[in-house]
């Protein structure tokens, strides 16, 4: 399932079919527009250079933290300090809103700029780590993909971001490798 923080972290996009090509989409207007629309952040200006720097810092920190958590490690003290600083700089007001799927607790109404969004992203991340199960945080097993996701499956065995995409690709690769081995034997 997509979350605010995983979507944000996944703005560093890797070509899952390729061999290590990646594209940093964080500062691309097109990616920013997708992200703002998806989470209903409205009337947000383009980030300033300083905001852009802070966005990048948080994004890279979340990628690293997701990797550590996926390996079963705890968050580092300095990371916790960093996340607290981001939340403390801002004052977000929660409100209950009605959605088609039911009620939702959101901070979106008090979000006015990218620094507010960063605080919201950290809150979302903290909720996953504290209120949910951090051992369900995964990095896609296709090493070219490295998509960050939260494993919602019952058996907790989701290895790929998407079984139809990366899952199939890896199945085909394993099959071909096996075939090749058989031919070489
Ligand atoms: Zn993947």
pLDDT tens digits, one per residue of 154-183: 999 999 999 899 999 999 888 888 888 888
Spell out which residues have Cβ within 5 A of ligand 1, the ion. Answer: 16, 140, 142, 145, 147, 161, 166
Which pLDDT tens digit goes with each residue over 42-61? 899 999 999 999 999 999 99
Which pLDDT tens digit goes with each residue over 58-98? 999 999 999 999 999 999 999 999 999 999 988 899 999 89
Give the residue carrying structure tokens 């929660």: 94
Cβ proximity of 17 and 29 under 8 Å: no
Give the distance (Å) from ligand 1 centre to CA of residue 175: 18
Closest by CA to 47, choosing from 60, 62, 37, 33, is 33
Domain ranges (residues) in the chain: 4-184
- Fold of domain 4-184: Jann2411-like fold (1.10.3300)
**Cα-based distances in Å from 135 to 82, 129, 142:** 22, 9, 19
User: Is the predicted pLDDT of residue 185 greater than 80, yes or no?
Assistant: no
pLDDT score at 1: 59
């Amino acid at each position: 399932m997509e979350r605010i923080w995983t979507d944000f972290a996944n703005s560093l996009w890797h070509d899952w079919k390729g061999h290590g090509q990646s594209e940093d989409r964080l500062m691309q207007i097109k990616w920013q527009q997708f992200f703002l629309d998806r989470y209903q952040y409205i009337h947000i200006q383009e980030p300033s250079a300083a905001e852009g720097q802070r966005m990048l810092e948080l994004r890279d920190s979340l990628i690293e933290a997701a990797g550590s958590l996926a390996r079963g490690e705890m968050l580092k003290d300095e990371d916790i300090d960093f996340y607290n600083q981001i939340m403390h700089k801002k004052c977000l007001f929660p409100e209950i809103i009605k959605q088609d799927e039911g009620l939702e607790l959101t901070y979106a109404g008090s979000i006015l700029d990218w620094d507010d969004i960063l605080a919201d992203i950290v809150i979302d991340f903290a909720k996953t780590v504290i209120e949910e199960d951090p051992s369900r945080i995964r990095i896609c097993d296709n090493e070219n993909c490295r998509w960050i996701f939260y494993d919602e499956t019952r058996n907790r065995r989701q290895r790929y971001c998407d079984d139809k995409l990366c899952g199939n690709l890896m199945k085909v690769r394993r099959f071909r490798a096996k075939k090749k081995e058989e031919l070489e034997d």
